[in-house]
Amino acid sequence: MSTAAPAPAGAPAGSPSEPRDQRTGLRRRIAQGELGSLQVLVALVVIWTVFTAANDRFLTSTNLVNLSLQIAGIGLISVGVVLVLLLGEIDLSVGIVSGLCSAIMAVLNVRHGWDPVLAIAAGLAAGIAIGLFQGAVVVAFGIPSFVVTLAGLIGWQGVQLWVLGRTGTINLTDPTIVDLAGTFYGGATAWIIGLVVIACFAAATVNARRRRVAAGLVAASPPVVAARIAAVAVVVLGVIWVLTDDRGVPLALLILLAFVVAFDYVVRRTRFGRHVLAVGGNEEAARRAGIRVKRIRVAVFMIAGLMAACGGIVLASRLLAVNQGSGGSDLLLYAIAGPVIAGTSLFGGRGTVWSALTGALVIGSISNGMDLLAFPSSTKNMVTGAVLLVAVVADAAARQRRRQLGRV
C-alpha cells in the first residue's frame, strides 16, 4: 500500500501542497484571531442588513455620502491611535487634542486674519507639539501613558476653552478650510480616481506576490491574486457608482484613504514601522536588539498628535464651526473603539493601519443607523460600549490562544 510522499520544504507556489498549506494557515489564523478584516466585513454585512431592514434610507446614496463624511474625521484620528496601540500604549487625549488644534486654526484664521494654509499648518504643528510633550513625559519619567494622556484630556480641554475665549463658538467661512469637507468629485473625475485606486492595488498585490515567490515563501496562486483584484475593483467601482449618484466622492474620504495607505506602508515596509511592531511585541527584546525604544515612543505620540489635529480640522470643516464642545462627547470612544473592533490589539504588536478605516466604518455605521432610527444617546452609548467590550474580549481570548501555542 503506497502513500504519498510529503511535499518538500520550500515547495514553490502553485505546488500540490500549497492549497493544503493555505487551508491550514487559514484555520490557524481564524483560531488565533488574525483575520480582523474578514470579521469586520461580516460585521458590516450584518449591521447594514439590520439597519436597512429597519430603515430603507440607510443604504441610499445620500446617506452613504453622509456616512463617508462622518467617518473621515474619526478615521484620521484613529490612524494615530492605531500606531499608539501597536506600541502597546494608549492615548486618551486625542479627542480633545483634535478640538484644541481646530480651535487654534479657527482663531488664527478668523480672529487674527491668518492665511488659511498657515492657520491649518499652525493647528497641525500644535498637534505635533502636544504629542512631543506627552511622549517625552511618558519616556522621561516612566509614567504610564494612560495617566499622562488622561491628564492631557483634562488639561488640553482647559487650554481649548482659553483659546476660544468668551464667545465660545467660531464660524468658519474661508473656502480653503470649508472645502476640505465640502468638495466632492463626480462624473469622469470620480471614475478616474476609482481606476487609479484599482491600478495601484493591483500593482501592489502583484508585486507582493512576486517578492514572496522570489524569497521562496508560500504565495497566493495567480487565480487567487486575480480574484482579490477583481473583488477590490467591484467594491471600488460600486462605491464610486453609489457616491456619484448623490454629490460625488468626498475629498475628506480621499484624504483619509491617502493617510491610511501612507501609514500602512510605513508600518509594513519601513524600518520605523518594524521597530514600532517590535517595541509593541516585546519591549525588552527590542531594547536588546538595539532599537531606540524611547525615540520610537516619542515619535509615535507625535504622529498621534498630528493625526488628531488632522481629524479635528476635517471635523471642523464639516461642521463649519469650532466651539467648546469640539473634540468632546463620544469622539474619543469612537476613535479608540474603531481600531480595536477592527482587530488592532490593545496589548500591542498586532494590527494594521487599515483598521482605522474599517473600524471607523463599523462604528460610523452603528451610529448613523441609530441616528436614522432616532435612538437616544443613552442607547447609542450602551450599544457602542457593548460592541467594544466584545471586541476586547475576543482580542484577549485570541492572545491566550497564541500563548498556549507558544507564539507570544
Quote the cell numbers at residue 106.
479657527
Region 103-120: what's the mean pLDDT?
95
The reported pTM is 0.88
Q: What are phi and psi of 329, to 5 degrees?
A: 55, -130
Question: Which pLDDT band, with edges at 50, 70 and 90, does 1 fall under?
Answer: very low
Q: How far apart are CA 219 and CA 22, in angstroms?
A: 9
Comparing 152 with 216, which gets the higher pLDDT? 152
What is the bridge-based pairing of β-strands 249-250 and 321-322?
unpaired
Give CA–CA dist 324/382, Å, rounded: 25
Question: What percentage of the chain exceeds 90 in pLDDT?
Answer: 60
Residue 30 has pLDDT above 80, yes or no: no
Instruction: Determine the Cα–Cα distance for residues 66 and 239; give it in Å rounded to an integer.
Output: 13
Residue 114's φ and ψ, nearest 5 degrees, are -65, 150
Whether 278 has a pLDDT exceeding 70, the answer reads: yes
User: Looking at the predicted structure, is the pLDDT value of residue 36 above 60?
Assistant: no
Q: What is the pLDDT of residues 58-97, one digit of tens each?
A: 989 999 999 999 999 999 999 999 999 999 899 999 999 9
pLDDT value at residue 42: 84
Length of the chain: 408
pLDDT in tens, 252-271: 999 999 999 999 999 998 99
For all residues of the chain together, what is the average pLDDT?
87
Residues 6+ away with beta carbon under 8 Å from 258: none
Q: Is the pLDDT of residue 400 over 80?
A: no
66, 257, 338, 156 alpha-carbon torsion, rounded to 10°: -90
Handedness of CA 64, 36, 389, 265 (dihedral sign): negative
SS (H, E, C) the chain: CCCCCCCCCCCCCCCCHHHHHHHHHHHHHHHCCCCHHHHHHHHHHHHHHHHHHHCCCCCCHHHHHHHHHHHHHHHHHHHHHHHHHHCCCCCCCHHHHHHHHHHHHHHHHHHCCCCHHHHHHHHHHHHHHHHHHHHHHHHHHCCCHHHHHHHHHHHHHHHHHHHHCCCCCEECCCHHHHHHHHCEECHHHHHHHHHHHHHHHHHHHHHHHHHHHHCCCCCCCHHHHHHHHHHHHHHHHHHHHHHHCCCCEEHHHHHHHHHHHHHHHHHHHCHHHHHHHHHHHCHHHHHHCCCCHHHHHHHHHHHHHHHHHHHHHHHHHHHCEECCCCCCCCHHHHHHHHHHHCCCCCCCCCCCCHHHHHHHHHHHHHHHHHHHCCCCHHHHHHHHHHHHHHHHHHHHHHHHHHHHCCCC
pLDDT at 230 over 90: yes
Nearest to 367 by CA among 402, 329, 405, 397: 329
Q: Which of 7-11, 247-251, 339-343 has the lowest mean pLDDT?
A: 7-11
Q: Are 267 and 86 in contact (CB under 8 A)?
A: yes
Per-residue pLDDT of 296-312, as tens digits, reads: 999 999 999 999 999 99
Residue-wise pLDDT for 163-178, tens only, equals 998 878 899 999 999 9
- pLDDT of 406: 59
Over residues 364-392, the pLDDT tens digits come to 998 899 988 888 888 888 887 887 788 77
Nearest CA to 252 out of 158, 302, 353, 182 is that of 182
What is the per-residue pLDDT for 33? 47
- Please give the grid coordinates belonging to residue 73: 474625521
Distance between CA atoms of 98 and 306, rounded to whole angstroms? 9
pLDDT of residue 311: 96
Q: Is the model more confident about 390 or about 407?
A: 390
φ/ψ (deg, to 5) at 185: -110, 120
Residues 82, 344 contacting (CB under 8 angstroms): yes
CATH number, domain 38-183+270-391, options 1.10.3470, 1.10.10, 1.10.510, 3.10.530: 1.10.3470
Res. 396: pLDDT tops 70? yes
Residue 253 near residue 69, CB atoms below 8 Å: yes
Task: Please report, for residues 96, 221, 222, the alpha-carbon distance to residue 227 in angstroms, rounded to integers and kept in the order given.
Answer: 43, 10, 9
Average confidence (pLDDT) over 314-323: 94
Is residue 13 very low, low, confident or very high in pLDDT (cuts 50, 70, 90)?
very low
CA 52 to the chain's CA centroid: 25
What Å distances lie between residue 365 and 102, 209, 230, 334, 342, CA to CA?
Answer: 25, 33, 25, 11, 13
**What would the mean pLDDT of 339-360 be, rounded to a whole number?**
87
Q: How many CB atoms lie within 10 A of CB 357?
A: 28
- Band of residue 130 on the pLDDT scale cut at 50, 70, 90: very high
